[in-house]
Chain A
């Protein structure tokens, strides 16, 4: 009797989790339905966001979300790899735990704190030093001068990508470290035995052995970056346009939703458009996170 009740509770809870995911998807879709009906497929490719004329499109925030996240990955992956390599092969044993914990604590710092730190510390550095120097250095060089152009406000796509990179480094580094540790010692010892250097062991033994899981860890970081809200909202500059310059202001789905929501009355087309964007964000993150799980599952779960 007790057994049946307890098992029933456990199974019901499992079902509840499935319902939860289904509920999130369905509720966002229904909420955004008015926008999808009104604008159709053009919603995804229209750069307009005009509350006055009631014309809304998602191109700019979708673009901003993807560009900031991919840039963040470009910045974060080398650093995360370096940290994971250091923690598994190079660091003296007594340092591994404290340094590893410190890096993991970076992941525990709330996102809003990253926003404040970015806004009050990184933005002035970008505005005062980094951006003028870069703009000056690339002035006159085609492509690069467009990529790094504009008034050095300190905010913008690149600053947002930098903050995102800092936030996802611990996730990627921790995953890489964990999968590097799954490489059987005998493989590495054999390589050292024939005279390989530490780097050669990493490049020729550890990386090929863990390749799939490393990509999984990177996808996990990407999934985190896509939906990050508060940190980006503080530093991206919030402008609904696509600029060629990485120093230009932009927005992401999450930052647009956070900023525009207070001015979107219930039942309005604007709110429906925000929910439609939320639905799109959920679909993108779901795909990325699903790929990450599929890649990571075999290695980390034995």
Chain B
């Protein structure tokens, strides 16, 4: 009876119970297949990460020794280390972070606190988002054009500035997001006590958003520490010990690039050690940054 009650145009339940059951079976089978495929996709994703980490540990741990940290890169066969590359990466990452963070912080502040009723702010946010994913090799070419070529030589400064350009949009994104999360009541309380806006921002908002901002900076450090392409045209790499900011400077990623493709076994081995060091460092910073933010929620 009930099956015949449906009005025209409204699909009624199949009258034949066998058909209904077959349809139900097919739907649940499709569902099962899709679920299995999704599980498979996730497993493949995890497997890829595991494969990368396992390869790095397997090939890199064997070459890890104290000389890696105490000597600089040397000609093949003479038991060189990675000291100049490690120090170079630290210096250039430090320059990039030191230059990029304040700018990114101010841009994020501008977008979160000063952008009301401003048409430019939309463009700034858009451009910053595009820069976030822009090819890093082009940022290297940009620094080559405006700094390396006019000055007439590769330098650690140019490398650090190229990294700073990458740092800026990362810090902008997290700073703006974090500042926007701060409740308006906090701002109103500060303004109500007579604080000028800049004091409200620096003394109240920055403090309230501190862990988020630090997370952004850490993520930026993790990102630029492993960057290779922008350094190829700026700090270039240096097989000798050098801490001069106006000279070419080694870095772990560029050393990997130079060594991994070489025909010398000990150089390839060192490239694996460098790869292990940079990956462990980058992932450790990344995980630290994430756990900082988790504590907030």
| B127 and A258 form a contact (CB under 8 A) | no
Q: Contacts of B44 on A, CB cut-off 8 Å? A: 79
| A2 and B196 form a contact (CB under 8 A) | yes
| B45 and A103 form a contact (CB under 8 A) | yes
Separation in Å of the B205 CB from the closest CB of chain A?
Answer: 12
Question: Is A43 on the interface with B (CB-CB < 8 A)?
Answer: no
Q: Which of B62-70, B79-87, B104-112, B207-215 contacts its partner?
A: B104-112
Residue-wise, chain A 35-48 has the 8 Å CB interface mask toward B (1 for contact) of 00000000000000
Question: Is B76 on the interface with A (CB-CB < 8 A)?
Answer: no
| B45 and A224 form a contact (CB under 8 A) | no
- A28's contact among B48, B141, B261, B286, by CB below 8 Å, is which? B141
Q: Which of B4-12, B51-59, B182-190, B241-249 contacts its partner?
A: B51-59
Q: Which of A108-116, A137-145, A152-160, A240-248 contacts its partner?
A: A108-116
Please measure, in the bound complex, the distance between the C-alpha atom of A289 and the C-alpha atom of B286, giving whole angstroms. 24
The contact sample of 21 A-B pairs, CB cut-off 8 A, is A2-B199, A3-B196, A14-B124, A15-B120, A15-B124, A23-B142, A83-B41, A86-B38, A86-B39, A90-B38, A103-B49, A106-B48, A108-B283, A113-B226, A116-B260, A197-B30, A199-B35, A261-B233, A282-B138, A289-B133, A293-B130
What band does the interface of chain A fall in when counting residues whose beta carbon is under 8 Å from B? Answer: 35 or more
Q: Given contacts A27-B142, A110-B228, A120-B55, are A101 and B290 in contact (CB under 8 A)?
A: yes
| B35 and A11 form a contact (CB under 8 A) | no
Question: Is A149 on the interface with B (CB-CB < 8 A)?
Answer: no
Question: Is B157 on the interface with A (CB-CB < 8 A)?
Answer: no
- A261's contact among B39, B48, B232, by CB below 8 Å, is which? B232
Q: Contacts of B146 on A, CB cut-off 8 Å? A: 23, 27
| A82 and B229 form a contact (CB under 8 A) | no
| B131 and A20 form a contact (CB under 8 A) | yes
| A226 and B135 form a contact (CB under 8 A) | yes
Which residues in chain B, 96-144, are within 8 Å of chain A measured between CB atoms? 103, 106-107, 109-111, 113-114, 120-121, 123-124, 126-131, 133-139, 141-142
Which residues in chain A, 153-196, are within 8 Å of chain B measured between CB atoms? 166, 169-170, 173
Q: Given contacts A11-B114, A111-B228, A169-B45, are A281 and B135 in contact (CB under 8 A)?
A: yes
Q: Given contacts A17-B172, A117-B52, A227-B134, are A109 and B283 in contact (CB under 8 A)?
A: yes
Which residues in chain A, 1-59, are within 8 Å of chain B measured between CB atoms? 2-3, 5-7, 9-18, 20-21, 23-24, 27-28, 30-31
| B55 and A229 form a contact (CB under 8 A) | no
Question: Is B253 on the interface with A (CB-CB < 8 A)?
Answer: yes
B interface residues with partner A (beta carbon < 8 Å): 27-28, 30-31, 34-35, 37-42, 44-46, 48-49, 51-52, 55-56, 59, 103, 106-107, 109-111, 113-114, 120-121, 123-124, 126-131, 133-139, 141-142, 145-146, 149, 165, 168-169, 172, 196-199, 201-202, 222-223, 225-229, 232-233, 253, 256-257, 260-261, 271-272, 275, 278-279, 282-283, 286-287, 290
Please measure, in the bound complex, the distance between the C-alpha atom of A150 and the C-alpha atom of B37, giving whole angstroms. 32
Q: Contacts of A114 on B, CB cut-off 8 Å? A: 52
Q: Contacts of B172 on A, CB cut-off 8 Å? A: 17
| A293 and B129 form a contact (CB under 8 A) | yes
Separation in Å of the A188 CB from the closest CB of chain B?
Answer: 15
| B198 and A3 form a contact (CB under 8 A) | yes
Please measure, in the bound complex, the distance between the C-alpha atom of A115 and the C-alpha atom of B257, giving whole angstroms. 9
Separation in Å of the A18 CB from the closest CB of chain B?
Answer: 6
Q: Given contacts A17-B128, A20-B165, are A111 and B226 in contact (CB under 8 A)?
A: yes
Q: Given contacts A13-B103, A258-B232, are A117 and B121 in contact (CB under 8 A)?
A: no
| B201 and A199 form a contact (CB under 8 A) | no
Closest 8 CB pairs of A and B: A227-B135, A110-B226, A82-B41, A6-B198, A13-B106, A10-B110, A197-B31, A229-B229
Q: Contacts of A13 on B, CB cut-off 8 Å? A: 103, 106-107, 109-110
Q: Contacts of B34 on A, CB cut-off 8 Å? A: 85, 198-199, 202
Smallest CB gap from B112: residue in A: A10
Please measure, in the bound complex, the distance between the C-alpha atom of A119 and the C-alpha atom of B150, giving whole angstroms. 36
Q: Contacts of B272 on A, CB cut-off 8 Å? A: 116
Smallest CB gap from B56: residue in A: A113
| B49 and A102 form a contact (CB under 8 A) | yes
Smallest CB gap from A293: residue in B: B129
| A18 and B123 form a contact (CB under 8 A) | yes
| B141 and A254 form a contact (CB under 8 A) | no
| A10 and B109 form a contact (CB under 8 A) | yes
| A290 and B136 form a contact (CB under 8 A) | no
Q: Contacts of A83 on B, CB cut-off 8 Å? A: 38, 41-42, 45
Q: A21-B131, A117-B56 are in contact. List 13 more A-B contacts (CB 8 A).
A: A13-B103, A14-B114, A17-B169, A27-B145, A31-B141, A106-B49, A111-B228, A116-B256, A117-B51, A121-B55, A197-B27, A229-B136, A230-B253
Question: Is A131 on the interface with B (CB-CB < 8 A)?
Answer: no
Q: Contacts of A202 on B, CB cut-off 8 Å? A: 34
| A120 and B40 form a contact (CB under 8 A) | no
Q: Contacts of B129 on A, CB cut-off 8 Å? A: 289, 293
- B111's contact among A14, A15, A110, by CB below 8 Å, is which? A14
Q: Contacts of B283 on A, CB cut-off 8 Å? A: 105, 108-109
Q: Contacts of A278 on B, CB cut-off 8 Å? A: 137-138, 141
Q: Contacts of A281 on B, CB cut-off 8 Å? A: 135, 138
Please measure, in the bound complex, the distance between the C-alpha atom of A202 and the C-alpha atom of B106, giving whole angstroms. 41
